[in-house]
Amino acid sequence: MELHTATLRSIDWRKKSGAVMRSSIVFSCLVFIFAMVSKTAEADGLLGDITWENTKAELSRINDWSLGIRRIPKGAKPEIIVSDGEIKYNGEVLKIGHSLQDWKRVLGSNTRPAFHGRVLIWDDIGIKVALYPSDETKVRTLIVDFSCKERMHGSDCARDGGRGHDYDPKNYFTGYLEVDGGAIDNESTVDDVNNLITGRGRYGRGCGTELCLGYAVDDGRFLSFVDVDSRRFKSVIYNVSFTGGNRGLYEPPVEVSENTSSPAHLEDHPSAPQVQP
């Protein structure tokens, strides 16, 4: 009886392997046919928009779908590109630790203060910056907000009929954000972004209770963290923060309690761990 069961399992495994192999062969044949048709159509001017470039793009999309990769096309404005610790806003460099006036020159001066002026919010863009407590003329952290996160019991987000958070922008970021090759929008999960990142790190554990990405750069440390919910790597990303400089300290955000006046990633945390190169 055991031998018969083992034989059936072996047959079942071979059937599944055969099915996978047949699927791969069929997919390869389709790729070949698409390539031949698109090349011929492009050469002869047939079939309208069917060209080799369009076919490659479609095949790439199908391949991403089969691997569970979600890509976000470029083009939305404003564009924030973060690469190897450098932040560019519509092509202009923004540096953590530099003066607030330098940032306003790039982002504009239409800001709203919060937390006694230690945070400035660009409501029209959907971003905010935190300043150094010891020098409120310099930028300590950049935060890009994608959506409101429930931080207390009940519905406090405006989309659910709540009053909203004073420290959130009135409009959320709808431009294009890319971190070391991984594009992020309001539907992105941490896994989505990690699948696309081509730089030196991935968002993961090691920064208190949050998920972060960090590495050494010329002027000290660069660190980015994502604000997520209990789903962790499967969670959508509510905001992305960037900090660094010679201090090299990461201030892990915590949930806002009824006795806390602001989100912790905008406050001081003397016990924050040192980020290693």
Sheet (strand 86-89) strand order: 92-94, 86-89, 79-83, 176-179, 182-184
207 falls in which pLDDT band (50, 70, 90)?
confident
Express each pLDDT in 89-148 by its tens digit: 999 999 999 999 999 999 999 999 998 899 999 999 999 999 998 898 999 999 999 999
> What does the pLDDT read at residue 163?
75
Total number of domains in the chain: 2
Q: Is residue 276 part of a domain?
A: no
Q: Same domain, yes or no, for 188 and 56? A: no
Q: What is the model's pTM? A: 0.69
201 falls in which pLDDT band (50, 70, 90)?
confident
Q: Same domain, yes or no, for 125 and 184? A: yes
Q: Same domain, yes or no, for 33 and 154? A: no
- CA proximity to 255, closest of 206, 210, 191, 223: 210
Boundaries of domain holding 6: 2-67
> What does the pLDDT read at residue 71?
87
> What does the pLDDT read at residue 246?
43
Bin 126: left if φ > 0, else alpha if -120 < ψ < 50, else beta: left
CA angle 235, 172, 180 (to 5 degrees): 60
Query: How far from the centroid of its chain's Cα atoms is residue 200's Cα?
Result: 15
Q: Is the pLDDT of residue 234 over 90?
A: yes
